[in-house]
Amino acid sequence: MSERDIILKSEGIYKSYRMGVTRVKVLKGLDLAVERGEFAAIVGASGSGKSTLLHILGALDKPDKGIVQFEGRDLGRQSGRELNRFRNKMVGFVFQFYHLLDELSVLENIFLPAMASRSILGWFGCRKWAKSRAGELLEQLGLAERAGHKPYQLSGGERQRVAIARALMNEPRLLLADEPTGNLDSATGNGILDVFEKLNTAGQTIVMVTHDERIAARAGRIITLADGRIKTGRVGLAPPNRPTAE
Amino acid sequence: MSETNGQQPITDNKVDQKLVGIRGWLIFPSIALVVGPTGEMFLVLFSLWALGTMMNSNYVTYTTLEVIAVGIEGVIRIAILFYAFVAGLRFFKKSRNAPQTVIRLIVVSLVVRALLFILSAVLFESVDIPTLVIGLVVPGIVSPIWILYFRVSKRVKATFVNQEDIFGLPYKVVLPIRYLLRRPITYFAVLAVALCVFIVVIVMTVMTGLVDDFKQKNHDFVGDCVVGSESLVGFAYYEDFVKELEGAESVEAVSEVIKGYALLSPRGRDVNRGVEIMGIDPVRHSRATGFASTLYYRKDDVSRAFEPSYDPNLPGCVLGIDIPLQRDANSHYSYQASPSRVGFALTFFPLTARGALAGAGAGLVNTKTFYYSDLSQSGLARVDSSLVYLPFNEAQLLCGMAGPVKRVNAVHIKFKPTVGLKAGCDAAAALWNRFKEQKAGENQAYLLDTVAVQSWKSHRRMLIAAMEKEQTMMTVMFGFVGIVTVFIVLVVFYMLISHKSKDIGVLRSIGASTADIIGLFCGFAFLVGLIGSLIGLSGGWLFLLRINRLEDWLFEHFGYQVWDRTMFAIGDIPSQVSPRVLAVIVFSAIAACLLGALVPSWQAIRLKPVETLQVNQL
């Protein structure tokens, strides 16, 4: 794996939380590298630090110690403004509980990342592009008929697809998914995994966290997290996807 | 992709194609959505024209309230026109949101019609039955039928299926509006602001009205400027000074005044009371002050103010209204058609230029009988209850000021309208100083040292300051009411942000900055402040329109008065809304809301996205 192919790299990540009087060490010097175009699944027991790792990789949280590099840039050295931009442009998050804004329609939820990075006037300037991009995503994810609906009017699978569409709105280079099927029945969950596979086939780098080995098996690489470190790395079912680096 | 717990797709492919299209009963709303906005547009233009005419009218004076009412009507009509335009656009694009939009338009139009009708009835105090029937009753019957049609009709369901093409205001605008509309707790914040504004508008309007009225009455009583002495002896050489004043560019009118005290006793009775006297030339004094407008009988011919109508040859006096008459509980006086023949013996204590009683060795005091010729109602309690106006020459003589070197107590000045108060007073003071220097070698020049040049505000400061102090105290007290509002908004926002921590986490995860989050909640606070203050303002304004009637009703039924009119010289409760005061109140209400939102917003941006997105936070 050449340095050029690596999109995300973490070295010596430590993270602990205070729980009452004790300090729980979650990550203990974790090293990880994700290649461009890879579909990696991080598995581990409940409380093993999977979600914490994902949040650190996506700059939603900071490690106590260690380095996270995205495309060679150290996230720990980025300013707050640069981190906002990183979260807005470079990564897309998909959460277990969808985390859609109830007050907004499906379409407005999908627009959110495009809106967040622009001023009010800037947003009016880019609406044409946003409309076309959102239309593409709605079509691609089978949500064309649901654009005007509110999240509470959708099924779980539809909500998760909206969350995926939102995550993809700004065409991020990395998609981070935290138990994306954890709140869905197996058939609907498989539907979501199908979407991930299609996206990965189209070149999208995906890092997914799950506690379910069967779901992880759908990824190209399975990373097992135990005792705060990467225990093993295995090849999953998904065909390796190596698009030319951008 | 299979769905096990999904809903059926919205589009039903088995729709009867005969029902699709703007046909059948839908023809009527389609016509209404073209004709209605067009008509509304004319009404908007008419409102704007009416507003312009009212503001520029030279013939009819419209009250600020009437102008504001027409302005509000114009704004409401513009808002409805805009919404009707959106409804029409959605309707003809067969958008799936069209039925809901049309229903909302119907409801909003009906509510606005009702409100405008009430407003018109309140303002112009009349109800036009045909307008009521055509404008309100008929739409009130027809509207529910159309609402029902747009809810249940198969044609409506089959026709309006298109995806909304108009989209997206930015979330920074949309989210605050949706939070406001969909969180019932925010209604309490709006209500708190509305109540606070309602109270403050009423109190400030009444208080400001009372203070302004009091100031105006004092201004009318005194004129613009007073050159005078506090000493009862007065000052000499005033005639030369008056000539100089009359030649000055800034001066419009001058009135020399004798001021003193006397004992007043109705003829034939042994009782007496102490009164203040003012010797004036009624015509000159009316030019310099508002004296003429205070008279009851000779208002239109002030030169005859001291001529008793029953015998013009008798020496007349103008009495402060509370000397001969008493107010009833409604602040009304029982006037006679003409003054009755009543004589008053006035006993003066004439003073020499050195301040000794003139003719004290002979035990002389001056007593003369004057006859009641008119009443003066200045609206100033002390003046109306103790002041007697006398002819200038008589007063000067009786007060011992008509010697070889004549004296007066004060010269009242009115400046030309183009001259500012300060500039006028400065000019008068400069003139007085020059005059004093010229007279420095004269016999009674020492009297000139006691003279001060004062604006009407300074001259009456003892009285005005008390009222202004009371107004300041009220403002401070209601400032505390405003602080309570800040806390209510703070609590509401605290609760809202606690509920919306997930949204904050989501927004941070997609790259929203802390400034964006603060902006979001400040936008929300702005909306709460704006809507709350508009509601409070409207309520307060409507209340003020009827405040005097309400007080009359309370007095009639429960004997309650805000101010006991037998004690206070107040007619109606002031209800003239000042646009400046309104602007300050709205601005303060919005500022209070922003302040209340600041702490919870700060708390919001300190939340760590990971914490808010955890499962146990949901």
Pairing of strands A205-210, A174-178: parallel
pLDDT of B217-262, one tens digit each? 999 999 999 999 888 888 989 999 999 999 999 999 999 999 999 9
B264 inside domain: yes
- Whether residue B10 and residue A146 make contact (CB cut-off 8 A), yes or no, is yes
Instruction: Give the C-alpha separation, B269 to B475, whole Å.
Output: 50
Sequence-distant (≥ 6) Cβ neighbours of residue B618 within 8 angstroms: A97, B502
Distance from CA of B559 to the nearest CA of A (A): 53
Instruction: Give the Cα separation of A111 and B308 in Å (integer).
Output: 87
Same domain, B546 and B612: yes
Q: Which residue of A has its CA nearest to B616?
A: A97
Query: Out of A52, A85, A107, whose CB is closest to B511?
Result: A85
Q: Tell me, yes or no, whether B147 and B250 share the same domain.
A: no
Residue-level pLDDT at B7:
35
Q: Minimal Cα–Cα distance from B574 to chain A, Å?
A: 45
Q: Are B586 and B197 in contact (CB under 8 A)?
A: yes
Q: How far are the Cα atoms of A5, A124, A133, A137, B8 from residue A128, in angstroms, in the given order?
A: 33, 8, 9, 14, 30
**How much is the pLDDT for B10?**
33
Q: Are residues B508 and B589 in the same domain?
A: yes
Query: Residue A223: what residue type?
Result: I
The answer to whether the beta carbons of residues B115 and B108 sit under 8 Å apart is: no
How high is the pLDDT of residue A123? 79
Question: Quick check: A86 and B511 CB within 8 A?
Answer: yes
CB < 8 Å to A112, chain B: 171, 506-507, 510
Percent of chain B with pLDDT over 70: 87
CA pair distance B197, B203, nearest whole angstrom? 10
Q: Do A145 and B9 touch (CB under 8 A)?
A: yes
Yes or no, beta carbons of B178 and A104 under 8 Å apart: yes
Cβ contacts of B552-556, under 8 Å, gap ≥ 24: B552/B330, B555/B329, B555/B330
Concatenated DSSP letters for chain A? --GGGEEEEEEEEEEEEEETTEEEEEEEEEEEEEETT-EEEEEE-TTSSHHHHHHHHTTSS--SEEEEEETTEEGGGS-HHHHHHIIIIIEEEE-TT----TTS-HHHHHHHHHHHTS-HHHHHHTHHHHHHHHHHHHHHTT-GGGTTS-GGGS-HHHHHHHHHHHHHTT--SEEEEESTTTTS-HHHHHHHHHHHHHHHHTT-EEEEEES-HHHHTTSSEEEEEETTEEEEEEE-SSPP--PPP-
Which among B506, B612, B616 is the top mutation candidate for probing chain A, defined by the most A β-carbons within 10 Å of its own β-carbon? B506
Q: Is the pLDDT of residue B291 over 90?
A: yes
pLDDT at B470 over 60: yes
What's the pLDDT at B163? 60
Question: What's the average pLDDT block by block, 10 residues per block, for chain A (246 residues)?
Answer: 78 88 88 92 88 91 92 91 92 90 88 84 81 87 84 89 91 92 84 89 92 88 89 62 43
pLDDT digits (tens, 9 = 90+) for B9-62: 333 444 566 677 788 888 888 888 888 888 878 877 776 676 666 655 555 555
pTM: 0.67
Question: Are the Cβ atoms of A127 and B168 closer than 8 angstroms?
Answer: yes
> Mean pLDDT, to the nearest integer, of B442-468?
87
Give B492-531 pLDDT, tens digit per residue: 888 887 788 888 888 888 888 888 888 888 888 888 889 8
Is B11 a member of any domain? Answer: no
Lowest mean per-residue pLDDT among B157-171, B569-583, B584-598? B157-171
Contact B5 A188 (CB under 8 A): yes
**Residues B334 and B377 both lie in one domain:** yes
pLDDT in tens, A3-40: 668 899 999 999 998 888 888 888 998 999 999 999 99
Shortest CA gap B221–chain A (Å): 58
pLDDT above 50 for B561 = yes
Residue A234's pLDDT is 64
Does A89 touch chain B if contact means CB atoms closer than 8 Å? yes
Contact B4 A185 (CB under 8 A): yes
Domain identity same for B314 and B430? yes
Q: Is residue B88 one of the residues assigned to a domain? A: yes
Q: Do B200 and B108 belong to one domain?
A: no
- Which band of pLDDT confidence, cut at 50, 70 and 90, is reported for residue B617? very low
Structure tokens at A16: 């602990």
* d(CA A2, nearest CA chain B) in Å: 30
- Tell me the CB-side half-sphere exposure of residue A62, using CA atoms within 13 A: 11
Residue contact B173–A120, C-beta within 8 A: yes
Residue to mutate among B101, B509, B618, with most A CBs inside 10 A, is B509
Tokens representing residue A98 in the block: 């969808």
Give the per-residue pLDDT at B35: 86
Q: Is the CB of residue B578 less than 8 Å from the CB of residue B205?
A: yes
Does residue B7 belong to the interface with chain A, where contact is any CB pair within 8 Å? Answer: yes
Q: From residue B429, give the alpha-carbon distance in Å to each of B409, B424, B434, B456, B458.
A: 16, 9, 9, 14, 14
**Together in a domain, B390 and B522:** no
**Residue B399 included in any domain:** yes
Chain A contacts of B11, Cβ < 8 Å? 145
Question: Does B290 share its domain with B419?
Answer: yes
Of the candidates A81, A148, A157, the beta carbon closest to that of B3 is on A157
Which domains does chain A carry?
3-235 (3.40.50.300)
Residue A156 exposure: Cα atoms within 13 Å on the Cβ side: 20
Is B274 inside a domain boundary?
yes
Distance from CA of B617 to the nearest CA of A (A): 11
- What's the CA gap between B159 and A46, in Å, rounded? 51
Lowest-pLDDT range of A50-54, B152-156, B476-480: B476-480
Query: Has residue B432 got a pLDDT over 80?
Result: yes
CB contact under 8 A, A155 and B7: yes
Q: Which of B1, B97, B512 sits opposite A194 (nearest CB)?
A: B1
Which H or E run contains B263? strand B251-266
Q: Is residue B85 part of a domain?
A: yes
Confidence of residue B66 (pLDDT cuts 50, 70, 90): low
Q: Which of residues 444-503 of B touch A (CB under 8 A)?
A: 502-503
Residue contact A188–B4, C-beta within 8 A: yes
Output B477 or B268, whichever has higher pLDDT.
B477
* Contact list, A191 vs chain B (CB under 8 Å): 1-3
Nearest to B609 among A60, A149, A190 (CB): A60
pLDDT in tens, B295-338: 999 888 999 999 998 898 999 999 999 888 887 766 678 888 88
Residues B485, B547, single domain; the answer is yes
Put simply, whether A98 touches B (Cβ < 8 Å) is no
Instruction: Select from B421, B438, B455 the last residue of a domain.
Output: B438
Same domain as B52, residue B104:
yes
Residue A147 touches partner B, C-beta closer than 8 Å: yes
Distance, in Å, from the CA atom of B537 to the CA atom of B555, rounded to the nearest integer, reads 26
Q: B177 in a domain, yes or no?
A: no
Taking the Cβ of residue B168 and every Cβ of chain A, the question of whether any pair is shorter than 8 Å is answered with: yes
Query: Does residue A43 contact residue A202 with C-beta atoms inside 8 Å?
Result: no
pLDDT for B359-416, tens place per residue?
A: 644 556 688 899 999 999 988 888 888 999 999 999 998 888 888 889 999 999 999 9
Domain count, chain B: 3
Question: Which among A103, A146, A149 has the least Cβ separation from residue B175?
Answer: A103
Contacts of A104 in chain B (CB under 8 A): 171, 174-175, 178
Does B497 share its domain with B388? Answer: no
Q: What integer is the mean pLDDT of B592-615?
A: 80
Shared domain for B429 and B294, answered yes or no, is: yes
Q: How many CB pairs under 8 A join A and B?
A: 139
d(CA A15, CA A26): 6
Q: How far is A233 from chain B (nearest CA, A)?
A: 26
The pLDDT mean for chain B works out to 82
For residue B171, the chain A residues in CB contact (below 8 A) are 101, 104, 108, 111-112, 115-116
d(CA B72, CA B322): 44
Domain enclosing residue B55, as ranges:
17-166
Asked if A155's CB is within 8 angstroms of B164's CB, the reply is no
Domain assignment present for residue B510? The answer is: yes
**Candidate from B164, B506, B511 with C-beta closest to A148:** B164
Is B510's CB within 8 Å of A146's CB? no
Contact B11/A at CB under 8 A? yes
Q: Which of B502, B510, B608 sits opposite A88 (nearest CB)?
A: B510
